A and B are shown apart, each in its own frame.
Chain A
Amino acid sequence: MDDFKSLQVLDRFKWIFQKFHIDYEIMRKILQLKLTMDGRRMPTVFNGSKVKKEGNQFIKSLWMYGFLGLLTLTPFLFLGDQFIFFTSIMMSILMFILMTLMVSDFSAVLLDVRDKNILHSKPISTITINAAKIVHILIYMFLLTGSFVAIPLVVSIFKHGIGFALIFAIEIIFIGCLVVVLTAFVYLFILRFFSGEKLKDIINYVQIFLSIAVIVGYQLVARSFEIVNLNISYTFDWWHLLLPPIWFGAPFELLLNKDFSFHIILLTIFAVLTPIFSVMLYIRLMPAFERNLVKLLSDSNRKKKKSRKIAKLWSKVLCRTTEEQTFFSFSSLMMKQERDLKLKIYPQLGIASIFPFIFLFNDIRMDSYEVAVTGNGFMFVYFSLLMIPNVVHMLKFSSNFKGHWIYRAAPIENEFSIYRSTLKACIVNYFLPVYFLVSAIFIYIFSVRIIPDLLIVLLVAIAMTLFAYVVLNGETYPFSNTHEHSQDISTFKVLGSILFIGIFALVHFFVLKITYGIYVYMILLVIGNVIGWRLVFPRKIKKIQVL
């Protein structure tokens, strides 16, 4: 185990902990262990990127946050002298990012139930354990917030002076505390009324949302510089008291612009007192929180079966043998219910549904809207196909991969039915929703004339799925490998899939010039698909030769 820098810094504050009768040495040991374990965890921001699992990934991800801070916060510093306006915007961005990060990456820390069995059974006082937990989270909050605001803070010194930066720095600490406590309260609330499984689902969705937001954020921030030149003056309304970001905007007005009006003072008081009170309340409610954590391992008292009529219908339509239908519904369930899988795949789906539009908007900005809608801009739909190789690749993995003994222990007539039905389920559950969404909007923009073209895109997608499967997966059972091995697929293969789509898009482009060419192309694609799927997944029973 390494000795961590953060712990060495912490040593300086030993006396504070001892004053509260916390066994500092024990707390330090616990923290050291936890930090070591965290070194082996992946933060959400790095999701899907190619990072070797060595060292604390979190520390490495700080660069990302620094960059994110530069992009999202600094522009607002140049927004005029009405502090309360732009500082409130900055604070709301900061709170939003910290809150989502807290939920996505530190839920594991906050909701660690293993603590109960491992630590509470040892002769350690409860206050020490709780202190260790809080300090653990605070270390991360500190590092994360620190890297996030570092650049804006430096910039603010030059733009608005030392005083501004000082208030900024102090407020950040307050906001950090408030966010931790707020998250804990949200969890407490959910756990009080819902089951642990529900909470895990909610956390999962926040993680997915964050991953999408980061990617879309890059696109938006680049554009936000254009709209930033606004000059709005601030007028107070009573409901501003309910908005924490505005509280934190007030001290700047009070101290720097010497605005001593009543509402500014009131807002400032809120900014200072709420974090302090919330931390005190948190310490008070910690035992209740721990008690409710036990519920984390529970599922809701669901007595009824979820109706899965649509999945049933799909399986009947798409699968001929009962064996295939069985695997189809199994795969569909896995795709919808496995959190790690969803965390990896849903962001891809999000990107896939947004990409065509990003390109389309660029196109529209260059030409006029009227010109664009009569052109071939709908070809951008092909960009949503880029997710297919990644998604197909992910089907190999599961966090419960050890359960795959069942494939072998069961009398499976035709092994190909497993792969075939999983791919079908993948198209139905993952691709089709994206495709229908994008198509619907495109049809609205380009009118119904593009329906034949969209059908061709669908046929290409089906071919693409098969192609990706042959190249990337081969005959590996679905959900049978651990996520730890799920390295990103090589750039070479990604380029290959871009090339694959590119060729099809190009052919599509050419047949558009031929009268009725598109219908001939469609028929050819149907035939090609049928032959391809038959060849890859023969219906004949395959005998396995064993030595």
Chain B
Amino acid sequence: MNNEKVLCLTDLTMSFGNKRVLNGVNLEVYKGQIIGYIGPNGAGKSTTVKIMLGLIEGYHGTIEIFGENIARGDFAYKRKIGYVPETAEVYDNLTACEYLTFTGELFGLSSVEAEKKAFNLMKEFNLESVFHQRLSSFSKGMRQKVLIISSLLHDPDLLFFDEPLSGLDANSVMIIKEILNQLAARGKTIFYSSHIMDVVEKISNRIILLVEGRVVADGTFAELQAQNKEGTLEEIFNQITGINNHKEIAEKFVGIVSEGSNHG
């Protein structure tokens, strides 16, 4: 693997009001890595990504992307980044063509180039027939595909994918997984956060576990397995996050569910 450093977080902290979301995250990411960024709900995964993209301001610590400290306000680093946000928020009164051309142009493509590339990519997802329809009529999965396309139009070097597979069918999931693999093989770096453990386990070559705004585990799947003596990533996840009482919780839950049935 290449040793070029793409991303470097040092002592990253972030608070919203009194609530501390990130408690000193330290991280170095190298070219060609696929990083599975996992953690329980509210651990600060999306916040980390948003800070790196400049969507959220007011953090402490330093962030270097492509060797540049982003606090200097030079926007140019964003040109080499692709982003799929967790919630599929788009200006959905636009058509797929209009939206993709717009985002492509924002990243420096000409409108003709952007439109052509967008159409070709849509075609690969079998979406060419809806290219000129409004996004508001799209299903969740279709929107997700449009967002993935919009993040890749400008051939970025660093990808932030926040739950990119939500709403996609099994077939599309396989395609996206393969796309990620091939992109990484071409030297792209992928920062991938998800809750679906077996996907993370399979595609990532490095897994970072974030709990309460702190990195608590970092390594390849094999390394994590060796440290924790557990089988799947899911089990490792539960062990590290300290939640091993899932059986009791489930029991209680089911107990409440069937409580009323005596009366019926």
Contact = CB atoms under 8 A, between A and B. Distances in A.
Contact of B133 (A302, A326, A544): A302
A413 B75 CA distance: 7
Contact of A411 (B75, B95, B97): B75
A399 B54 CA distance: 23
A479 B129 contact: no
Given A326-B106, A405-B55, A545-B73, A300 B89 contact: no
Interface string B50-61: 000111011110
Contacts of B85: 405
Interface stretch (A18-26, A327-335, A505-513): A327-335
B76 A305 contact: no
Given A297-B137, A400-B92, A543 B73 contact: yes
B177 interface: no
B137 A298 contact: yes
Interface in B64-88: 70-79, 81, 83, 85, 87
A176 B134 CA distance: 35
A303 B132 contact: yes
Contacts of A299: 130, 133-134, 136-137
Interface string A298-335: 11111111100000000000000011001001100110
Contact of B97 (A305, A323, A329, A545): A305
A411 B106 contact: yes
A196 B78 CA distance: 37
A202 to B, nearest CB: 15
Given A337-B94, A403-B92, A479-B91, A410 B137 contact: no
Given A334-B93, A402-B87, A543-B73, A326 B102 contact: yes
- The winner among A298, A399, A411 for most chain B CB atoms within 10 A is A411
* Interface bin, chain A: 35 or more
Interface residues of B, number: 45
A408 B55 contact: yes
A232 interface: no
A334 B73 CA distance: 29
B108 interface: yes
Contacts of B58: 547
Given A326-B106, A334-B93, A400-B92, A409 B55 contact: yes
B91 A412 contact: no
Closest 5 CB pairs of A and B: A299-B133, A402-B89, A411-B78, A410-B106, A299-B137
Given A298-B137, A302-B132, A409-B83, 5 more contacts: A196-B137, A303-B129, A326-B102, A398-B91, A546-B70
16 contacts: A197-B136, A299-B134, A305-B132, A329-B111, A333-B94, A333-B98, A333-B102, A334-B93, A402-B87, A405-B55, A411-B79, A543-B74, A545-B73, A546-B57, A547-B58, A547-B60
